């Protein structure tokens, strides 16, 4: 079990790195990151680093989770689509900040574990779907915010179509070199802003049972 002091050291590192949204910092202090890891790695849960969760997937670095969440929250979303549930950690962070989180995961065993962890935390405002994330979740849209936790070459048009007017997509984009981008919809046009260099697993198609 990790101490409160260990968690707060991580929060201070995030603050020092430029994370300013107190709501995001408070939620990241409260959500127990160690339960989203296998027991053998749980002692590293509050390091500011990405960690493996199996199936060639990772639990994102806390700074990146905080940064992407902070960017998303600047647009005050109510309904958010997350593509790549993974461990469920980012899902849990979002669920504490918005009304509804719709999360899609292509790897069924990861989704099953994430569902159990979210249940353990009594987060009842999340809906999970086992599907190809690149297609989004059309029948639940439009969404005020869309977050990708894996990197496509470009943001799929299917996802842009599911974004509400004034909504925001936060995503890593690129292949060898990746950039975190923010895309905001204004009617039929989209304004894209590059944020910083990142390193994510690629967004893959298909599903794993």
The SS3 call for residue 23 is helix
- Which residues have C-beta within 8 Å of that of residue 24, sequence separation ≥ 6? 66, 69, 70, 73, 93, 97
- For this structure, is 42 an active site residue? no
3-class DSSP string for 131-183: CCHHHCCHHHCCEEEEEECCECCCCCHHHHHCEEEEEEEEEEEECCCEEEEEE
Q: Position of tokens 């002692």?
A: 43
Closest CA to 83 of 32, 159, 165, 142: 159
Is there a contact between 99 and 124 (Cβ–Cβ < 8 Å)? Answer: no
Q: Residue 106: which of 86, 78, 77 has the closest Cα?
A: 86
- The strand pairing partners of 129, in sequence order, are 104
- Tokens 């297609």: give the residue: 135
Among candidate residues 42, 50, 60, 78, the one labeled active-site is 60
d(CA 130, CA 135): 12
CB 53: neighbour CB atoms within 10 A?
Answer: 22
- By annotation, the residues acting in catalysis are 60
């Amino acid at each position: 079990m990790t101490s409160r002091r260990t968690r707060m050291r991580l929060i201070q590192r995030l603050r020092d790195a430029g994370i300013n949204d107190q709501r995001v910092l408070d939620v990241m202090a409260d959500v127990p990151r160690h339960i989203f890891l296998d027991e053998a790695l749980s002692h590293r849960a509050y390091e500011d680093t990405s960690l493996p969760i199996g199936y060639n997937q990772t639990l994102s670095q806390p700074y990146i989770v905080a940064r992407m969440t902070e960017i998303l929250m600047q647009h005050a979303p109510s309904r958010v689509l997350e593509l790549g549930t993974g461990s469920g950690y980012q899902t849990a962070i979002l669920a504490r900040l918005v009304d509804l989180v719709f999360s899609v995961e292509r790897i069924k065993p990861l989704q099953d574990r994430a569902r159990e962890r979210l249940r353990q935390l009594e987060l009842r405002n999340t809906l999970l779907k086992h599907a190809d994330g690149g297609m989004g979740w059309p029948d639940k849209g439009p969404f005020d915010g869309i977050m990708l936790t894996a990197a496509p070459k470009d943001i799929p048009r299917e996802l842009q179509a599911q974004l509400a007017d004034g909504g925001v997509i936060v995503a890593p984009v690129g292949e060898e070199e990746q950039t975190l981008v923010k895309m905001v919809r204004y009617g039929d046009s989209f304004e894209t802003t590059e944020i910083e260099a990142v390193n994510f697993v690629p967004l893959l198609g298909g599903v794993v049972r």
